[in-house]
Amino acid sequence: MRQRIGIKEVAAAAGVSTTTVSHALSGKGRLPEGTRARVREVAEQLGYRPNVSARKLGGGSTGLLALAVSQVEDLTFQLGDFDYFASLIREATTAALDRGYALAIAPAAAAEDALHKIPADGALVVDPVPDDASIAYLRGQGVPIVTTGRLLDDGDGYWVDNDHAAGVGRVLDHLHAVGARRIALVAPRSFASYIVDVRAGYAGWCAAHDCEEIVGIAPDVTEQGGFAASSALLSDPDPPDAIYAVLDRLAIGVLLAAAAADVDVPGDLRVAACTDSVAAQTARPPLTTLGLNPEQIGREAIGLLIDLVEGLPVSPGHRLVPTTLIERESTLGSPARAR
């Protein structure tokens, strides 16, 4: 009948009061280092685990951060890229644990309800959508928030994202350098800031390079969506000679559409994608991608969030994470020609 070890048990074992234990563990109060260390040791030995609920109730912090992944109601939002999210979340979790925090998942479905039920000190919202109910709720609660990708309807606040403006330019420059002159963009409608940014970057680049803007709107963010959008583009009398898809899964759909339409990639069509992944790497031909360094995004976002939670001084505004262009056959073509 192993009973939970609470602060009381620790206090008894250490021969001090519960107040002292609380202070020793939290680092607050006035205690000599000696007592502090002794209490900590006893707590450790007894395997003391604080009760999160009790902490929260007493007005303290719980050491819990909510991780909310936004969703779009009317769009089949199947999480565009698995590897991206997995990397981001993995790194975020690790970074949080390093500083003594745990990440609790708030499902996108009942996000608001979930956030109410999770006694979190702060929240990380991944790819928020405009008028995000969970964000409004968190704001009301006064809970610190950091988003990855900025809020479209409110660019203020703290967010971490890639430098998409620079990233788009890099990809388009690359496509142009390998000979593309009619570069199309395949993207879903703009439900998240990075899509807006990429589209804006694309428009700007086209204007600067005197190129026609060709945009194919994908109905969803899966391979199907990419297939549909690019099939339409390819059947045009004056089809593009390059396609940049804003998600790797869309790009894989583009490759499928090209194969179906007997268009040679990269001979007649160069294809590139935003977001690197194993799937992009193993596609036929392997896809040139813009790596987004999700690990770094996750790490920075969590660092920022914890600073906010702990009331540490942070410089206001956002953080930009660089992108990495990964050149593969889908735009380079030499290995394909070698065949």
What residue ranges bind DNA (CB under 7 A)?
4, 6-8, 15-20, 22-23, 25-26, 28-32, 35, 48-51, 54-55, 57-60
Buried b (16+ CB within 10 A) or exposed e, 99-137: eebebbebebeebbebbeebbbbbbbbbbbbeebebbeb
Rounded to 10 degrees, the C-alpha dihedral 78/79/83/89 comes to -140
Radius of gyration, CA atoms only, the chain: 25
Q: Is 251 in the site for a second copy (CB under 8 A)?
A: no
Q: Per-residue x/- mask for a second copy, residues 70 to 89, rule CB under 8 A? A: --------xx--xx--x--x
Q: Which residue of 10, 39, 64, 292 would you call a contact of a second copy, by CB under 8 A?
A: 64
- Residue numbers 191-230 binding a second copy by CB under 8 A: 222-224, 227
Strands 183-188 and 242-245: parallel
End-to-end CA distance of the chain: 70
Min separation Cβ 151 and DNA, Å: 29
Contact of residue 22 among DNA, a second copy, none (CB under 5-8 Å per partner type): DNA
DSSP letter assigned to residue 222: S
DSSP letter assigned to residue 287: P
CA–centroid distance for 164 within its chain: 13
Min separation Cβ 152 and a second copy, Å: 24
Nearest in space to 227 (alpha carbons), one of 207, 200, 245: 245
Three-point CA angle 261, 267, 212, nearest 5° = 80
Q: Per-residue x/- mask for a second copy, residues 147 to 186, rule CB under 8 A? A: ----------------------------------------
**What three-state secondary structure class fits 76?**
coil
Q: Per-residue x/- mask for a second copy, residues 108 to 147, rule CB under 8 A? A: xxx--xx-xxxx---------------------xx-----
Contact of residue 94 among DNA, a second copy, none (CB under 5-8 Å per partner type): a second copy
Contact of residue 6 among DNA, a second copy, none (CB under 5-8 Å per partner type): DNA
> Which residues of this protein are in contact with a second copy, per CB under 8 A?
2, 4, 47, 49-57, 60, 62-64, 67, 78-79, 82-83, 86, 89-90, 93-94, 97, 100, 102-110, 113-114, 116-119, 141-142, 222-224, 227, 249, 252-253, 256, 259-260, 278-279, 281-284
